[in-house]
Amino acid sequence: MNEGTVIDRRGAIVGAGAVAAGAMLGGAAAATPGLHAIAATKGRAFGTCLSWSPKGADAGSLANPRYAALATRDCGIAVPENALKWQALRPSPAAYDFARFDAILRDAERAGMRMRGHTLLWHYDRWFPKWLVDHDFGKAPAREAARILTQHIRTVCARYAGRIYSYDVVNEAVDPADGSLRSTALSRAMGGAEAVLDLAFRTAREAAPKAELVYNDYMSWEAGNEKHRDGVLRLLAGFRTRGVPVDALGVQSHIGVFAPTDSIERLVATLSPDWRAFLDRVVGMGYRLVVTEFDVRDRGLPADIAVRDAGVAAFAKGYLDLMLSYPQLRDVLCWGMTDRYSWLRGFEPRPDGLPTRGAPYDASFRAKPIHAAMHAALAR
């Protein structure tokens, strides 16, 4: 992401016109159908990530009754925020810890939610468990690396057969700096990243033949993402050339307003052509689309909450209107429903130290203008 989009008060007021319904907070949201119910009228689905917590904890989990009430009203699908990643699931080469994800899945199924799986392989040394980065692959490194990878995917898919309908098989394999494929402990052992990624998808298809298989990444529509987008296009084209079974591109959609602008609408119009050209090439290769981790980074927006919320809502609606214009897009998921538990608060705090406000509900569980904007986009 590039640094810097602040909107002034005049620009925010202009943007607010497109989402006037967002002025009705809290109880007004409860008086209208939830986001998933609206999406379902168009043959789509809406959901969110879920964390694990002990029962009653103040956390973004279904074990928290207050959050469960909010999430189950708006969401028909779910994805684990962290509990299915290797760092959480596989503490050592020989051990798996399924307890937390089992609890998330059980609660989601009781709530009538379908489950996505995130992720079978986060292809990035930074997010590998330490034991994998340091692993001694021995005298036949390619064979050992393949064994570890296939064992992991087969174990997870077998355990949750029929209960996970879509997997982010590979996450973030493209380096945004130059569009190349990341080098990891596995790719170094196997002689290249393509061999790792192809094996991951082919193993997933064998182990979960009815599941949707997704390549997931955070390339975005803002300026500065050109090399990242180009790298993803090369990867997707290579999958098709090599006959790798990939069904969809997961578009994380951690979008954001980063630099000064006097009009959100003009900013959206500026970003849209290159982004649409990218999406056209993706669907032109026969891929579906999934919005997997939607939220809005507001670090450039002013402190004033009314102005900031209006800017976030207008930017979100412009983005979702574009994404939802593609019939290849069926599922839209937020990366958390409330600012109270948003990952952005710790990962990317605002320069002024104020809490971020990029989720549909604020920290007190009140619906914000972005909720109304999302509702309007899904209804269209």
Q: How many angstroms from the chain centroid is the CA of residue 22?
A: 24
Alpha-carbon gap, residue 132 to 114, rounded angstroms:
31
Whether the Cβ atoms of residue 73 and residue 85 lie closer than 8 Å to each other? no
The CA distances from residue 191 to 142, 152, 237, 327, in Å, are: 7, 20, 20, 38
Alpha-carbon gap, residue 306 to 327, rounded angstroms:
33
Work out the percent of the chain whose per-residue pLDDT is above 90. 88
Alpha-carbon gap, residue 39 to 281, rounded angstroms:
25
Predicted confidence band of residue 208 (pLDDT cuts 50, 70, 90)? very high
DSSP for 251-281 reads: E--EEE--S-BS-HHHHHHHHHHHHHHHHHH
The CA distances from residue 30 to 24, 83, 256, 291, 353, in Å, are: 11, 30, 27, 24, 31
* Dihedral over alpha carbons 237, 226, 337, 113 (to 10 degrees): 0
pLDDT at position 352 is: 92
pLDDT at position 12 is: 34
Alpha-carbon gap, residue 66 to 281, rounded angstroms:
42
Question: pTM for the complete prediction?
Answer: 0.92
**What are the boundaries of each domain within the chain?**
9-123+162-175+211-379
Q: What is the mean pLDDT of the chain?
A: 92
Predicted confidence band of residue 30 (pLDDT cuts 50, 70, 90)? low
Q: Is the pLDDT of residue 258 over 60?
A: yes
Instruction: CATH number for 9-123+162-175+211-379: choose from 3.10.180.10, 3.30.300.30, 3.20.20.80, 3.10.690.10.
Output: 3.20.20.80
List, in order, residues 6 or more apart from 240 with CB less than 8 Å away: 285, 286
Q: Is the pLDDT of residue 210 over 50?
A: yes
Closest CA to 21 of 294, 302, 368, 366: 368
- Planar angle of CA 137, 139, 144, nearest 5 degrees: 40
pLDDT at position 279 is: 98
pLDDT 10s digits, 99-121? 999 999 999 999 999 999 999 99
Q: Is the pLDDT of residue 295 over 60?
A: yes
DSSP for 73-92 reads: HH-SEEEESSTTSHHHH-SB
pLDDT at position 29 is: 53
